[in-house]
Amino acid sequence: MAKDIEVAGQGGFPAKDYHDPPPAPLVDAEELTKWSFYRAIIAEFIATLLFLYITVLTVIGYKSQTDPTKGGDDCGGVGILGIAWAFGGMIFVLVYCTAGISGGHINPAVTFGLFLARKVSLVRAVLYMVAQCLGAICGVGLVKAFQKAYFVKYGGGANELAAGYSKGTGLAAEIIGTFVLVYTVFSATDPKRNARDSHVPVLAPLPIGFAVFMVHLATIPITGTGINPARSFGAGISKWIRPGTTKKIPPPPPPPPPFSLN
């Protein structure tokens, strides 16, 4: 910060043309008395619900259109590119809509990163993550309610490690993909960038949505992309409790034919 002031002073510009918000307290009990806090939690719940509803429907629709047992082919449906656009486009829309209410996290990984950076308090971070996970479950639940047969047949859009990849490779892909997303979030919302690049219109939801799009293009063929823990949790829970997963008791064998001396 001192370097910024010194360089700016030598150039004849104002010493500081941006505002660094103070670090958020670890525990801020005063937030619990404000309606804006609960409104933000509701916004995170609804945004994650809509995010899972649209994206899981897209995944299931793609699998249905490419199902060879139904006459589909690999070139049918929206493809991996379309799925990546669905995830990136929904993040762009939802972050744009909720940024002024809750900050537009819609991802426990983003919330946890902002908590470590002291951008949000522990109370807000925990309740945000709970709301995001509950919203994800409800969003996938809506998909299951509307398209139960397709949901069960095609795995409910849950993440799965593709054949030919080890668990270590899948873990590394998820770590790198999540880093790209969180890094983009911090860069797009940096107050210094908004001040120094004020001549360039920077819309924060746009680079964040593109980051989600690019990461999905790279990691869908490996893990199905689980850089959003709420998305993986919601789809995984719904897949685990879907009907047909319990072990069926085989029918008893037919009785032997009657004994005959002939």
CB 211, CB 114: distance < 8 Å:
no
CB 230, CB 139: distance < 8 Å:
no
Give me the chain's average pLDDT, please.
Answer: 83
32-56 average pLDDT score: 94
> Is residue 10's pLDDT more than 80?
no
> Is residue 25's pLDDT more than 60?
yes
Least confident range from 107-111, 117-121, 231-235, 250-254: namely 250-254
Q: Measure the CA–CA gap between 245 and 95, rounded to whole angstroms.
A: 36
Least confident range from 110-124, 153-167, 212-226: namely 153-167
> Is residue 125's pLDDT more than 90?
yes
> Is residue 198's pLDDT more than 80?
no
Integer CA distances (angstroms), 237 to 31, 55, 146, 167, 248, in order = 31, 16, 17, 20, 21
Q: Measure the CA–CA gap between 96 and 88, rounded to whole angstroms.
A: 12
| 136 CB-side CA count, 13 A | 25
Task: Supply the pLDDT for residue 46.
Answer: 97
Task: Supply the pLDDT for residue 255.
Answer: 64
Looking at the chain, list the stretches that DSSP marks H as alpha helix, in order from N- to C-terminal side: 2-11, 35-65, 79-98, 108-116, 122-146, 148-153, 167-188, 191-196, 205-223, 229-240
Radius of gyration of the chain from its Cα atoms, rounded to whole angstroms? 24
Q: Which of 4-18, 27-41, 213-227 has the highest mean pLDDT?
A: 213-227
Which tokens in the block code for residue 177?
A: 């993909």
> Is residue 73's pLDDT more than 80?
no
93-120 average pLDDT score: 93
pLDDT-based confidence at residue 208 (cuts at 50, 70, 90): very high
Closest CA to 156 of 181, 178, 133, 136: 136
> Is residue 214's pLDDT more than 50?
yes
> Is residue 1's pLDDT more than 60?
no
Task: Supply the pLDDT for residue 70.
Answer: 76
CB 127, CB 221: distance < 8 Å:
no
Least confident range from 142-156, 181-195, 196-210: namely 196-210
Task: Supply the pLDDT for residue 78.
Answer: 81
Tell me which DSSP letter residue 119 carries: S
Residues constituting the chain: 262
Task: Supply the pLDDT for residue 14.
Answer: 53
pLDDT-based confidence at residue 3 (cuts at 50, 70, 90): very low
Task: Supply the pLDDT for residue 130.
Answer: 96
Q: Measure the CA–CA gap between 57 and 14, rounded to whole angstroms.
A: 51
Task: Supply the pLDDT for residue 111.
Answer: 96
Give the pTM.
0.81
> Is residue 94's pLDDT more than 90?
yes
131-152 average pLDDT score: 92
Closest CA to 148 of 234, 246, 239: 239
User: Which residue pairs from 216-219 have beta carbons closer than 8 angstroms and sit at least 24 positions apart in sequence?
Assistant: 216/80, 216/83, 216/84, 216/87, 216/88, 217/80, 217/81, 217/84, 218/173, 218/177, 219/173, 219/174, 219/177
Q: Which residue has the tokens 């500081």?
A: 16
Task: Supply the pLDDT for residue 250.
Answer: 52
Q: Which CATH class is domain 29-240?
A: mainly alpha
